[in-house]
A and B are shown apart, each in its own frame.
Chain A
Amino acid sequence: NAGVMQNPRHLVRRRGQEARLRCSPMKGHSHVYWYRQLPEEGLKFMVYLQKENIIDESGMPKERFSAEFPKEGPSILRIQQVVRGDSAAYFCASSPPSAYYEQYFGPGTRLTVT
């Protein structure tokens, strides 16, 4: 059973560009979570999605950030007009229907904004 897949693993964007991060959950998992990791802040929750629904987005900045998990295809975290402060590692996790508290993480996307 393949794990959570994320791509790209590394992404470099200039200030003002858009960043699109993709996540494919583990097979059989219908819940997806996005987290951001900054060296000085640790791992922080951003958003929780089910297929075609945003369940909780309390950790996501109100502007420039959006997330979706369509009926078909991977979950997408989109950051518009990136700024240097968006440079971080972004992790996606998924959980099985029987145990939402057991979240399995992907390898992450390292975003660098120049």
Chain B
Amino acid sequence: TQLLEQSPQFLSIQEGENLTVYCNSSSVFSSLQWYRQEPGEGPVLLVTVVTGGEVKKLKRLTFQFGDARKDSSLHITAAQPGDTGLYLCADYSSNTGKLIFGQGTTLQVKP
């Protein structure tokens, strides 16, 4: 059974700081999704990465996919309070159609 480990579990920073969160898999990712979830809401898809070494940018967010497709990172530049939330990585299982989620990183950005 595939396991996704995310680190750190919790992160509390001041507005304007930079941060990086990580997602590591016990096996090769099929395709990796990053989501952000705010309290009381459903996860919102941020990005999908498929190719090893791929880098994608979404405004102040930079997503990197490891060459071996077993790890990924999300870097946020100049964090803002609106970035507060639970960041989840997930892998898609093409055999079953399901997403396997990591436990998430809870980010708090203080004004």
Residues of A within 8 A of B (CB): 4, 6, 31, 33, 35, 42-45, 48, 55-56, 58-59, 91, 93, 99-108, 110
Pair B101/A43 contact, Cβ less than 8 Å: yes
User: In this assembly, does B80 line the interface, its C-beta being within 8 Å of a C-beta of chain A?
Assistant: no
Query: In the complex, what residues of B have CB within 8 A of residue A31's CB?
Result: 97
CA–CA, A102 and B80, complex, Å: 26
For chain B, the count of residues having a C-beta within 8 Å of the partner chain is 24
CA–CA, A80 and B35, complex, Å: 31
CA–CA, A107 and B42, complex, Å: 4
CB distance from A51 to the nearest CB of B (A): 14
A-B contact pairs, 24 of them (CB 8 A): A42-B88, A42-B102, A42-B103, A42-B104, A48-B97, A55-B97, A56-B96, A56-B98, A58-B96, A58-B98, A59-B98, A91-B42, A91-B43, A100-B92, A101-B33, A102-B45, A104-B45, A105-B42, A105-B43, A105-B44, A105-B45, A107-B40, A108-B41, A110-B40
CB distance from B17 to the nearest CB of A (A): 26
Partner of A43, one of B43, B48, B96: B43
Query: In the complex, what residues of B have CB within 8 A of residue A59's CB?
Result: 98
Query: In the complex, what residues of A have CB within 8 A of residue B64's CB?
Result: none
Partner of A45, one of B43, B100, B103: B100
CA–CA, A100 and B92, complex, Å: 9
CB distance from A26 to the nearest CB of B (A): 12
Query: In the complex, what residues of A have CB within 8 A of residue B31's CB?
Result: 101
User: In this assembly, does B28 line the interface, its C-beta being within 8 Å of a C-beta of chain A?
Assistant: no
CB distance from A17 to the nearest CB of B (A): 24
User: In this assembly, does B99 line the interface, its C-beta being within 8 Å of a C-beta of chain A?
Assistant: yes
Query: In the complex, what residues of A have CB within 8 A of residue B88's CB?
Result: 42-43
CB distance from B103 to the nearest CB of A (A): 5
